[in-house]
């Protein structure tokens, strides 16, 4: 969502295009400016809770050399305007194919098209969904104490009751911007694997504890992260993450969910969930619950050491550093299904209740 008082995307597109047009009429070289999208242009903002862009921008001035990308950027802006006006949307891949009708401005390869779309997104400082460019990938299922408010394709209001899916779930759509929510849930539990999600659904966890369960299915998609973020903003209840106890779970999943990632810093503001905290599985859980483990792989060790050295989030949080060092010392990783060793119901009847008695102790 754009911050208050920010001009609408539509206004921004029009005023940008107007600038270019006016300059051309004055026989001046038109310019467009986009923030530099890289880790070098990023800092961790603990208070805001996400990676944030520093001020570096790159200018694209219309010259013989830039004429093609300049035209492509304008065409991409025009496409966005069209989509907003017609209440339609396009995936990145569709946008690429649409460009096949742009004559010489057509993209030769999809990565070119993706790059220009990222530029446009960063230029307007909004998330792509507001430009009506939606992700290819779906991702994320939810079940529990949540009513999702949507409209059908004929504009009729729909209330989707996520307590009524039995063994199934509500599949989060690619574009979640216009969804509304009603809920009396006490917390949101974001789960790494579909298997664990299915276990908690089977054992009625959401009903017993009055919560919303979300299956991220590995690294959460944009749609899934934005969905959790919007729930968190709207419902003002805690979000807890329950993922595998390995560097992939800690950084690729949890860190991305919480503060975002380096190479997409221009949109972390919209996609991160600063209020999430880490329920488990922690290295200490391995000891406390005598869990079966696997040895750390070389890639795990490399990832953990990299994080200690370079990840602004980890460098900010001493408790994470301690946990990562503990994991490296133990030399093992653990999967969230490991609790099954103590019986299939152990995770629901013992582990989660024990953890939930002391949420203040969760890793940040």
- Catalytic sites, residue numbers: 97
The torsion region of residue 265 among left (phi > 0), alpha (psi -120 to 50) and beta comes to alpha
**Applying CB under 8 A, which of residues 98, 259, 267, 307 lies at the interface with its own copies?**
98
**Applying CB under 8 A, which of residues 165, 237, 275, 326 lies at the interface with its own copies?**
165
Question: Do the beta carbons of residue 174 and residue 138 sit within 8 Å?
Answer: yes
**In angstroms, what is the C-alpha Rg of the chain?**
23
Residues 149, 28: Cα–Cα separation, whole Å:
49
Residue 141 lies near its own copies (rule: CB under 8 A): yes
Taking each helix axis from N to C terminus, what angle separates 110-124 and 9-25, rounded to the nearest 10 degrees?
100
Residue 117 lies near its own copies (rule: CB under 8 A): no
Nearer to its own copies (CB atom), residue 53 or residue 162? 162
The torsion region of residue 66 among left (phi > 0), alpha (psi -120 to 50) and beta comes to alpha
CA 247 to chain centre: 18
CB of 155 to its own copies, least distance (A): 11
Neighbours of 290 (CB within 10 A): 10
**Applying CB under 8 A, which of residues 15, 38, 171, 359 lies at the interface with its own copies?**
171
Residue 134 lies near its own copies (rule: CB under 8 A): yes
**Applying CB under 8 A, which of residues 8, 33, 38, 151 lies at the interface with its own copies?**
151
Residue 276 lies near its own copies (rule: CB under 8 A): no
Residues 304, 325: Cα–Cα separation, whole Å:
8
Residue 210 lies near its own copies (rule: CB under 8 A): no
**Applying CB under 8 A, which of residues 173, 210, 238, 312 lies at the interface with its own copies?**
173
Nearer to its own copies (CB atom), residue 58 or residue 290? 290
Residues 126, 87: Cα–Cα separation, whole Å:
17
**Applying CB under 8 A, which of residues 2, 105, 150, 349 lies at the interface with its own copies?**
150
Nearer to its own copies (CB atom), residue 13 or residue 134? 134
Nearer to its own copies (CB atom), residue 217 or residue 262? 217
**Applying CB under 8 A, which of residues 97, 147, 315, 328 lies at the interface with its own copies?**
97
Nearer to its own copies (CB atom), residue 58 or residue 164? 164
Nearer to its own copies (CB atom), residue 328 or residue 340? 340
Q: Which stretch binds its own copies (CB under 8 A): 5-13, 146-154, 275-283, 310-318?
A: 146-154
Quickly list DSSP for 172-234.
Answer: PPS--TT-EEE---SEEEEES-HHHHHHHHHTTHHHHHTEEEEE--SSPPHHHHHHHHHHHHH
């Amino acid at each position: 969502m754009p911050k208050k008082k920010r001009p609408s995307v539509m206004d921004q597109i029009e005023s940008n295009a107007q600038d270019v047009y006016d300059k051309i009429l004055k026989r001046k070289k038109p310019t467009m400016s986009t923030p530099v999208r890289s880790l070098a242009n990023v800092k961790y903002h603990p208070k805001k809770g996400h990676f944030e862009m520093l001020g570096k921008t790159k200018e694209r001035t219309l010259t013989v050399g830039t004429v093609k990308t300049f035209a492509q950027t304008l065409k991409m802006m025009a496409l966005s305007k069209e989509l907003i006006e017609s209440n339609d949307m396009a995936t990145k891949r569709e946008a690429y194919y649409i460009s096949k009708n742009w004559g010489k401005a057509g993209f030769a390869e999809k990565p070119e098209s993706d790059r220009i779309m990222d530029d446009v997104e960063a230029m307007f400082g909004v998330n792509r969904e507001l430009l009506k460019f939606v992700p290819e990938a779906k991702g994320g299922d939810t079940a529990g104490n949540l009513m999702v408010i949507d409209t059908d394709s004929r504009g009729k209001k729909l209330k989707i009751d996520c307590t009524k899916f039995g063994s199934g779930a509500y599949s989060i759509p690619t574009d979640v911007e216009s969804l509304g929510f009603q809920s009396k849930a006490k917390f949101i539990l974001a789960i790494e694997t579909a298997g664990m999600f299915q276990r908690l659904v089977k054992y009625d966890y959401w009903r017993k504890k009055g919560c919303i369960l979300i299956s991220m299915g590995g690294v959460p998609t944009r749609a899934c992260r934005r969905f959790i973020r919007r729930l968190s903003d709207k419902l003002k209840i805690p979000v807890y993450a329950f993922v595998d106890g390995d560097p992939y779970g800690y950084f690729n999943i949890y860190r991305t969910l919480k503060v975002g990632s380096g190479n997409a810093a221009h949109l972390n503001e919209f996609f991160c969930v600063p209020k999430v905290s880490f329920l488990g599985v922690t290295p200490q859980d391995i000891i406390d619950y005598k869990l079966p483990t696997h040895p750390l792989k070389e890639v795990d060790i490399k990832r953990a050491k990299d994080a200690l050295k370079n990840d602004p989030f980890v460098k900010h949080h001493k408790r994470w550093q301690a946990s990562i060092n503990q994991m490296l010392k133990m030399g093992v990783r653990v999967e969230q299904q490991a609790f099954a060793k103590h019986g299939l119901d152990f995770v629901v009847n013992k582990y989660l209740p024990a953890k939930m008695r002391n949420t203040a102790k969760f890793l940040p």
